[in-house]
Structure 1
Amino acid sequence: MTVHTGRHFLQIPGPTNVPDRVLRAMDMPTMDHRGPEFAVLGFEVMAAIQRVYRTKQPVIIYPSSGTGAWEAAIVNTLQPGDKVLMCETGQFAVLWRGIAEKFKLDVDFIPGDWRHGADLEQVEARLSADKAHKIKAVMIVHNETSTGCVTYPQEVRKILDNVKHPALLMVDTISGLGSLEYEHDAWGIDVSVAGSQKGLMLPPGLGFNAISEKALAVAKANPAMRSYWDWHEVIAINKAGTWPYTPATNLLMGLKEAVKMLEEEGLENVFARHKRHSAATRAALKAWGLETQCQEQGAHSPALTGVVMPEGHDADQFRKVVLESFDMSLGTGLNKVKGKMFRIGHLGHFNDLMLMGTLAGVEMGFDLAKVPHRAGGVNAAMDVLKKRDGAMAPKAAVA
């Protein structure tokens, strides 16, 4: 067994590193989730997560993973036989499709190559052709964590509005919220799905649904069965600052502190930081002579970068070398890209020096694993990070 010193480098795209401040905030005695002290916390975190989503609408906080929040979005608004439109952008789009099919939805799944965001031309074509408005929802993954490709939900909203289609717009922003710009209200999103373990810098265990007035009305009229996930039941009890079942009390304490940290930095600064780290990582890949998994100009994720391995070299074997040699975890390729690529997470509680350490570990790993590459990736990334003027400079947070 290899003994490592120092901290483990967790560079997967979620769960992400949990800040010490958040850990300390959660390190509290259990409290009465029906008492007045907890109600103060309940109201605080409900307001805090609304600010992150940029919404004045209800945000449901579930004691669940993001997968639970996917299911909640489905069972509140849809029923067996309903038709939905989805796009194959990667593994998480595939998984969401699987849940939809288990609930007997009629899924129109637009195929993709896992190297681009959603095919918006096909989305527009399908919606334009749906004169009878059989499609009840369009379901899009904002930041596809398996590939590092972004689909911009506001562009899908423009399509829905242009063709005058009444379908709900549902967005998985599980790895986007707190890492990328997101405007639930301004972009006309009906249901936004997220989880706690990515840009929100928490352990897994909280799932979120931000809900438009339109989606709430659809849910109220929906006869499909649900209990645990029922939006209206949660909203009714939320008015007292608590939940209809036992909430994840200590995770909510952590959520309060995590949002405080995001707001201290300033959300615009948070988003700019993620973009800088993404640009620096891509500069390293270009210097190494390697491809990014995402091949769509303008769609590269600020939260993570997928790295395509040279032909004949296994990504998981490389990840093993890096883990054993440097105590650093890199994200695996999923499903059809398993073994073909790995993922570098640069989201959440993260800074320039952490990125430089990560890229140094990757470059040293290439040498040890005998992966063909050119030298100089770390220096190329450093050159990007040193350019802190102009558009790349963090702005002062507004109090």
Structure 2
Amino acid sequence: MTLASGRSHIAIPGPSVIPDAVLQAMHRPAPDIYDADLLAMVQGMIPDLKQVAQTDQHVAIYISNGHGAWEASLANTVAPGETVLVPTCGRFGHGWAEVARGLGIKVDILEHGRQTPIDPDRVRAALLADSAQAIKAILAVHVDTSSSVRSDIMALRRVLEETGHPALLMADCVASLGCDAFRMDAWGADVTVSACQKGLMTPPGLGLVFFNERAAEVQRAMPAVSNYWNWQPRAHPELFYQYFGGTAPTHHLYGLRAALDMMKAEGMEAIWSRHARLARAIWAAVEHWGQDGPMRLNIADPAHRSHAVTALSLGKGQGDRLRAWCRDEAGVTLGIGLGVEDPEDPTASGYFRIGHMGHVNAHMILGLLGVIEAGLGALDIPHRAGGVAAAASSLSAR
């Protein structure tokens, strides 16, 4: 007998919990893709998507995941043989770099490990060393989902301005958009890459690329851009099908429309504040448990922690044991430790992650923390009891 029967809770860092309103919006027959109402709905979504990214610029929608949005961002701005600078602090900077290499782009990696954010001084040094200004773009992950580190995008813009380097600043906001505060225009990102399955609370399938006029000018000077990845007709369509390079992903659009309605009603400042408070509650619980046990937050400095995902260490093998107990005995699915596998024993991970992005509230967070504390006790993993109480105290404080 287990206690897992009933509605389960998925606490992985994406895909996130899908609201009932989104599921209900998608549960309908296929529509007429030439219907005027569908066109009007999509046209109405564009300003709402821009509001989420805090931009007055352009957005292109792709039928893809975040990896597709990575490729779209590069296909429009960097030609084969040109160079990008990728400061990495987890798995996903390396992933974006691999996509670039696949397009014939040269990649310079600035490795930061897994526990520190992007260092603007190291980026400054790399730009100053690039006397020929060969670097076409900086590919910076705002929140790396594997390490849960959050980097300062605006600091990178300041470095570009101080050095006078013409490289584009591209920000990966797949994990952070709609969770952590992000202001594309105010922070100076030229291109922002995201997807719908995390803070936007919609099933995986839509990639988003926001771009400003500076990036558009670079795109117009490209020797060639493939028809499918070309962002110009998607951002400025003359016909409805051009939004998507073909048939519209109708049911994803219905779901995203419902999600955007929810976000618009709550407001971006309130959304960012909710995620910040819930994240602090999780950190309070983990820090309390860790006083008498091995549990540790991956990112030591709270200023560099994501408000959407938290990566933790628990000792070799213990992370997988705890995840299995929470899933099988209590119906809570925690995220795997990503990018930290032991090559000699891939089943022995001591890491796991908690996703707290999108459609989450206080009772969901307190519930999953309660399950984690029960699992620590059931598995005799050393910890200081009372982590849930510490989280509750954090939430009650103003």
Whether the 8 Å contact between 2:69 and 2:207 is mirrored in structure 1 is yes
The answer for the alignment partner of 1:83 in structure 2 is: 83
Deviations 1:345-380 (A, max 9, x none): 111101100000010111111112222211111110
Gaps of 5+ in 2: 343-348
Whether the 8 Å contact between 1:237 and 1:244 is mirrored in structure 2 is no
Q: Distance in 1 between matches of 2:334 and 2:73?
A: 31
The answer for the alignment partner of 1:381 in structure 2 is: 391
The answer for the alignment partner of 1:317 in structure 2 is: 321
Note the 1:1-399 alignment, pairs <5 A: 4-237=4-237, 240=240, 242-289=243-290, 290-310=295-315, 312-337=316-341, 339-387=349-397, 389=398
Whether the 8 Å contact between 2:280 and 2:394 is mirrored in structure 1 is yes
Q: Distance in 2 between matches of 1:120 and 1:239?
A: 43
1:225 deviation in Å?
A: 4.2
Deviations 1:363-399 (A, max 9, x none): 1111122222111111100100111x3xxxxxxxxxx
Deviates further, 226-235 or 95-104 = 226-235
Whether the 8 Å contact between 2:83 and 2:108 is mirrored in structure 1 is yes
Match of 1:144, SS state, is: coil
CA RMSD of aligned residues (A): 1.6
1:145 deviation in Å?
A: 0.7
Opposite residue 186 of structure 2, the aligned amino acid is A
Q: Distance in 2 between matches of 1:360 and 1:3?
A: 13
Whether the 8 Å contact between 1:115 and 1:296 is mirrored in structure 2 is no
1:174 deviation in Å?
A: 0.3
Deviates further, 199-208 or 183-192 = 183-192
Q: Distance in 2 between matches of 1:48 and 1:15?
A: 21
Whether the 8 Å contact between 2:88 and 2:141 is mirrored in structure 1 is no
Match of 1:298, SS state, is: helix
1:337 deviation in Å?
A: 4.8
Deviations 1:141-172 (A, max 9, x none): 00111111101211111111111111000110
The answer for the alignment partner of 2:345 in structure 1 is: none
Whether the 8 Å contact between 1:85 and 1:138 is mirrored in structure 2 is yes
Opposite residue 366 of structure 2, the aligned amino acid is M
Q: Distance in 2 between matches of 1:62 and 1:276?
A: 32
Flag as ranges the 4+ runs of structure 1 deviating above 4 A. 238-242
Q: Distance in 1 between matches of 2:17 and 2:103?
A: 34
Give me the identity figure in percent: 37
Q: Distance in 2 between matches of 1:383 and 1:236?
A: 50
Q: Distance in 2 between matches of 1:183 and 1:249?
A: 28
Opposite residue 375 of structure 2, the aligned amino acid is G
1:4 deviation in Å?
A: 3.4
1:6 deviation in Å?
A: 1.8
Q: Distance in 2 between matches of 1:66 and 1:196?
A: 9
Whether the 8 Å contact between 1:331 and 1:343 is mirrored in structure 2 is yes
TM-score, normalised by the number of residues in structure 2? 0.93
Q: Distance in 1 between matches of 2:305 and 2:236?
A: 40
Q: Distance in 2 between matches of 1:50 and 1:315?
A: 38
1:284 deviation in Å?
A: 0.5
Whether the 8 Å contact between 1:157 and 1:189 is mirrored in structure 2 is yes
Whether the 8 Å contact between 1:237 and 1:243 is mirrored in structure 2 is no
Match of 2:262, SS state, is: helix
Whether the 8 Å contact between 2:88 and 2:140 is mirrored in structure 1 is no
1:92 deviation in Å?
A: 1.1
Gaps of 5+ in 1: 390-399
TM-score, normalised by the number of residues in structure 1? 0.93
Q: Distance in 1 between matches of 2:350 and 2:224?
A: 41
The answer for the alignment partner of 2:346 in structure 1 is: none
Deviates further, 184-193 or 30-39 = 30-39
Deviates further, 202-211 or 54-63 = 54-63
Opposite residue 333 of structure 1, the aligned amino acid is G
Q: Distance in 1 between matches of 2:182 and 2:138?
A: 18
Deviates further, 52-61 or 232-241 = 232-241
Whether the 8 Å contact between 2:322 and 2:372 is mirrored in structure 1 is no
1:3 deviation in Å?
A: 7.8
